[in-house]
């Protein structure tokens, strides 16, 4: 049995959902609870509400999927940071924003009583978007297209979706030298 907690954290419209053996049991955006539109922090209340609505116990969750993969396009992220923020007043703000994303596992383990064998999965942002369309579609084969501004340093991807696998075949990566978007 697989019970997956999916979270969209530190990104616009923070949210959570619980999927049990491929079926969505609960899903909610944090803004519906905290009443702050497009809230983009840690979705603590959504996680609690999803657990309550789905009637499962926290320690039954087998996997946690997170909406970003800090190592995706890492050289571009790194160069962008150095080019734009190394000598800037915002350096600490940007550093702590990134730190929150890579240490989210610690926060989740601190705040919730997950079992010892729960597995964490950091999912590339665009793969997460395509997954939300491809897997519920029941299509055996499909072409995935994401246009986002931006996720994990990419704004557009094209994927081959086949036999429950998603493979990015083309992607646009933000050049660290083109524009300043943060
Ligand atoms: Fe996105």
Q: Is residue 31 in a domain?
A: yes
pLDDT higher than 70, residue 178: no
Residue 182 lies in a domain: no
Residue 146 sits in the same domain as residue 62? no
Q: 115 vs 8, 120, 123, 125, CA distance in Å?
A: 21, 12, 21, 26
Q: For residue range 106-128, what is the model confidence (pLDDT) as tens digits? A: 999 999 999 999 999 999 999 99
Q: Residue 80: its pLDDT value, please?
A: 84
Ligand 1 centroid distance, CA of 81 (Å): 20
Domain membership of residue 117 (yes or no) is yes
Q: Which of 10-19, 101-110, 171-180 has the lowest mean pLDDT?
A: 171-180
Cα 28 to middle of ligand 1, angstroms: 16
Q: Strand 165-173 relative to strand 154-162: parallel, antiparallel, unpaired?
A: antiparallel
55 and 7 both lie in a single domain: yes
Is residue 11 predicted with pLDDT exceeding 80?
Answer: yes
Q: What is the pLDDT of residue 95?
A: 85
Question: Is 103 among the domain residues?
Answer: yes
Whether 128 is in a domain gets the answer no
pLDDT at position 48: 98
Q: How confident is the model at residue 174 (pLDDT cuts 50, 70, 90)?
A: confident
What separation in Å is there between the alpha carbon of 38 and the centre of ligand 1? Answer: 12
Percentage of the chain modeled with pLDDT above 70? 97
- The answer on 85 and 16 residing in a single domain is yes
- Summarize pLDDT for 49-92 with one digit per residue, the tens: 999 999 999 999 999 999 999 999 999 888 888 888 888 888 88
**Residue 100 φ then ψ, to 5°:** -60, -40
Poorest-pLDDT segment among 15-24, 73-82, 158-167: 73-82
Is 80 in the same domain as 147? Answer: no
Check whether residue 99 and residue 141 sit in a common domain. Answer: no
The CATH number given to whatever domain includes residue 94 is 3.30.420.40
If you measure from the C-alpha of residue 122 to the centroid of ligand 1, how many angstroms do you get, rounded to a whole number? 14
Could you tell me if 90 and 25 lie in one domain?
A: yes
- How many Å lie between the centroid of ligand 1 and the Cα of residue 48? 23
Decide if 7 is inside a domain.
Answer: yes
Cα–Cα separations (whole angstroms), residue 123 to 6, 49, 71, 130: 10, 23, 10, 11
Q: How far is the CA of 61 from the centre of ligand 1 (A)?
A: 24
Domain that holds residue 160: 137-170
Task: Kindly state whether residues 78 and 163 are assigned to the same domain.
Answer: no
Residues 144 and 91 in one domain: no
Residue 175 lies in a domain: no
pLDDT at 161: 98
Instruction: Compute, in angstroms, the gap from residue 8 CA to the centroid of ligand 1.
Output: 9
Quote the number of domains for the chain: 2
Say what the pLDDT of residue 181 is: 45
């Amino acid at each position: 049995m697989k019970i997956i907690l999916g979270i969209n954290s530190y990104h616009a419209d923070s949210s959570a959902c619980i999927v049990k053996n491929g079926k969505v049991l609960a899903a909610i955006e944090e803004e519906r609870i905290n009443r702050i539109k497009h809230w983009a922090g840690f979705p603590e209340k959504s996680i609690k509400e999803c657990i309550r609505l789905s009637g499962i116990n926290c320690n039954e969750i087998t996997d946690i999927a997170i909406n970003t993969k800090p190592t995706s396009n890492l050289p571009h992220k790194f160069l962008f940071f150095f080019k734009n923020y190394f000598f800037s007043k915002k350096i600490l703000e940007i550093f702590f924003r990134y730190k929150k994303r890579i240490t989210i596992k610690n926060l989740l383990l601190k705040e919730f009583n997950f079992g010892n064998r729960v597995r964490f999965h950091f999912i590339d942002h665009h793969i997460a978007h395509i997954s939300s369309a491809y897997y519920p579609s029941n299509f055996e084969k499909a072409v995935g297209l994401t246009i986002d501004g931006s996720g994990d340093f990419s704004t557009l991807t094209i994927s081959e979706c086949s036999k429950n696998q998603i493979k990015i075949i083309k992607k646009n990566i933000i050049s660290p030298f083109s524009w300043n978007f943060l």
